[in-house]
A and B are shown apart, each in its own frame.
Chain A
């Protein structure tokens, strides 16, 4: 009753301010910018439906890696800057699946199956490390990510891979930097029930796969264990006094996050059509981190809605800026804008530890 009264007395500016506060100012700015790009697209000669398709496609590739941020945020381990560790598990799964001679959709399934034990083992070690350094998780995570990528740079050369589709042609050993997935699991999800209307194409299978995982995460957070995980992140001492094993919960969240990152990179590869090795995982963590932050998550609170909104906004900007901006100012600004948006978002989020927006 009071609320409705208050609302009528508010001026338009008040209401706008309130809306900006509840939706989050940075998210509002980025959404506005993206909208502007969509409006501008036809005027600079870019096809609107192609742009939409591109955005949805990139969303479907990246969404699971953004989803991988959720468990660690909930358990109070912060943003998973160590995402490359999970990506490496996924890459091991992918390369081994091909090495063992699996082809077609089977190779995708096997890649997931092989990646899982790697993700669990690496996640356990990573979780053990993070439990030793409570309070400094995000910094340590960054270096875990960096060093694991560098370590694997050596291993990709040294491991005894023999499959001719993957190794360097002349030497006959050592993996190539990019490996084509044609004949393996290229578009294996995206092609499933794909919708094509004119220039619009929607990768239904990939979206469904993400939806299943996102639903799984949402459901998990509604279970007893998921509740305990959130409580651990909210107040570890409270959780301990209520009989919850804090370290175990944190460990579980890290393993979950690492496994999701492994699945995430496999889904990315099937959409992109190539496996990228060596330094490629290095550049995967920051876009995922900034996507979930743009989505309205904070260092200690995140929801599935944050994942979906954030991935869409972030990938929208990444796909739209090259076409629209380049056509407008005839200069390659896209990379600059992407970097400014992603790094700026992370910086912004780390300076504030307030409640997440819905």
Chain B
């Protein structure tokens, strides 16, 4: 057996790059038995990649493996598949559930590890035909649920469970493995209600008492402080802090995460546009967008302002731009610059100098398999005949590769898009950089009016600041009216002049961004259906 004093897990000088982008450099990490480690950092800081390396995920090996050593109990290990990691006592609960909806909690917890009984058929044809021992399964599932410390109904079918209970089923499954020594929880509380999150924290504490080490990844920093023994903060592929949880604070951690102190909402330059002319007038708009139905929205947008549209998820804020831009069926009337905009026709909107950055980056926003050049230039080329050379009196419209490259390189530069060059495929970029490409695409259209939907969803704080700054600059310097839809109120308050809150498919109210958060909060829940 290895050295008894060695820590349970040690990661030494871990390095990893994707397509030449260094995402992890020199990561060192140690974890003792029963210790709870809080891992935090912006999206794209390298947390998930690090955990994928530890768990032996295929994607690591397919992209060229990693450098550095992983030691378990002082012994060097190499995990080629997640099975190796499981055998070594590492369990992982992913952000996406991997449960079978039609099975009960017990069946899911013990899937493929069920205690079995011999029967006549299996005596002849081998143990794949053994009967499941349901009594013992129940016992083992109960034990796992007890160990977790949060009660879930072991006989309930997964598809009937609330989201939080599904999360707990996943955790119970990992706990039911006897050899489990280290559990990785990747943002487990993101889908939980406050009460469930409390319960999860309690169960993490009880696991730790039983000697199981936990790596806890979360964006909710106060959770880390309340449950973890130590905190590791990552930024841009480096560990920037590794301190005992007791000696730090939320503000200190967030400072480490962004590498600068987080300024509170910059409300300094809110402008009043109430005398400006109305550039877009929306009347009695309805949009049939699944999950984001707009029922009856009337809204006036003033020229040159940045208008925020906020509200809770599912209340219809996303339906507004998608409906106006013709991506979902809509009705009502929309006037832009005094002229009516026909609904249900994306082309007509684009022709009237409207542009839209969709919240669905990968589905609507990007040509994932094409180069950045195509992504940036395509709409401008199709709608405004830019980046084309005309031959034979305009009969042949030839792609102007040079012009396309120039504009792409300009935006790569301006928006600091991290890529290997303008010919790189959009698929290979990180979420934040993909978002910047989406913005570049809209900017290349040189619109008079820009809808931006959830521009910062799923991207890290650094890219977030850059995207918001780019939008602000675009608005200030080119005088473009911007309507930004976001779920994050603070983000809206930091950039918008006015904020409209959508609730129950209707506008619940419009307030200046300088009003206190509580007022917005009241509006959000005012008409929820």
The answer on a CB contact under 8 Å between B382 and A244 is yes
Whole-angstrom distance between the alpha carbons of A3 and B383 in the complex? 39
Residues A235 and B368 in contact in the complex (CB < 8 Å), given A241-B356, A243-B351, A243-B379: yes
Counting CB contacts under 8 A, is B155 at the interface?
Answer: no
Enumerate chain B residues within 8 angstroms of A351, measured Cβ to Cβ.
none
The answer on a CB contact under 8 Å between B398 and A223 is yes
- The prevalent SS among residues of A at the interface is helix
Whole-angstrom distance between the alpha carbons of A143 and B327 in the complex? 33
The answer on a CB contact under 8 Å between A242 and B383 is yes
Enumerate chain A residues within 8 angstroms of B358, measured Cβ to Cβ.
241
The one of B364, B374, B379, B399 in contact with A237, judged by C-beta atoms closer than 8 angstroms, is B364
B347 to A, closest residue via Cβ: A243
Enumerate chain B residues within 8 angstroms of A230, measured Cβ to Cβ.
370
The one of B327, B346, B370 in contact with A231, judged by C-beta atoms closer than 8 angstroms, is B370
Interface string of B363-396 (1 = CB under 8 A from A): 1111111100010001101110100100000001
Residues A224 and B365 in contact in the complex (CB < 8 Å), given A241-B346, A243-B347: no
The answer on a CB contact under 8 Å between A241 and B327 is yes
Enumerate chain B residues within 8 angstroms of A240, measured Cβ to Cβ.
327, 346
Q: How many residues of B contact A (CB 8 A)?
A: 30
Whole-angstrom distance between the alpha carbons of A230 and B347 in the complex? 18
- Shortest beta-carbon distance, B344 to chain A, in Å? 11
Counting CB contacts under 8 A, is B325 at the interface?
Answer: yes
Whole-angstrom distance between the alpha carbons of A126 and B329 in the complex? 28
Residues A234 and B385 in contact in the complex (CB < 8 Å), given A227-B378, A243-B350: no
The answer on a CB contact under 8 Å between B356 and A234 is no
The answer on a CB contact under 8 Å between A227 and B396 is no
- Shortest beta-carbon distance, A212 to chain B, in Å? 15
The answer on a CB contact under 8 Å between A238 and B346 is no
The answer on a CB contact under 8 Å between A231 and B399 is no
Enumerate chain B residues within 8 angstroms of A238, measured Cβ to Cβ.
364-367, 378
The answer on a CB contact under 8 Å between B397 and A243 is no
Enumerate chain A residues within 8 angstroms of B350, measured Cβ to Cβ.
242-243
Enumerate chain B residues within 8 angstroms of A301, measured Cβ to Cβ.
369
Interface string of A210-251 (1 = CB under 8 A from B): 000000000100111101101100110110111111000000
Residues A242 and B397 in contact in the complex (CB < 8 Å), given A231-B370, A235-B367, A235-B368: no
Residues A243 and B367 in contact in the complex (CB < 8 Å), given A224-B397, A225-B397: no
The answer on a CB contact under 8 Å between B385 and A245 is no
Interface string of B217-233 (1 = CB under 8 A from A): 00000000000000000
- Shortest beta-carbon distance, A299 to chain B, in Å? 12
B383 to A, closest residue via Cβ: A243
Enumerate chain B residues within 8 angstroms of A2, measured Cβ to Cβ.
20
The one of B346, B366, B382, B399 in contact with A222, judged by C-beta atoms closer than 8 angstroms, is B399
In chain A, residues 177-233, which have Cβ atoms closer than 8 Å to a Cβ of chain B?
219, 222-225, 227-228, 230-231
- Shortest beta-carbon distance, A98 to chain B, in Å? 34
Enumerate chain B residues within 8 angstroms of A241, measured Cβ to Cβ.
325, 327, 346, 356, 358, 364-365, 379
Residues of B whose CB lies within 8 Å of any CB of A are 20, 325, 327, 346-347, 349-351, 356, 358, 363-370, 374, 378-379, 381-383, 385, 388, 396-399
- List the 5 closest A-B pairs by CB distance, nearest first: A243-B347, A242-B379, A224-B397, A243-B350, A234-B367
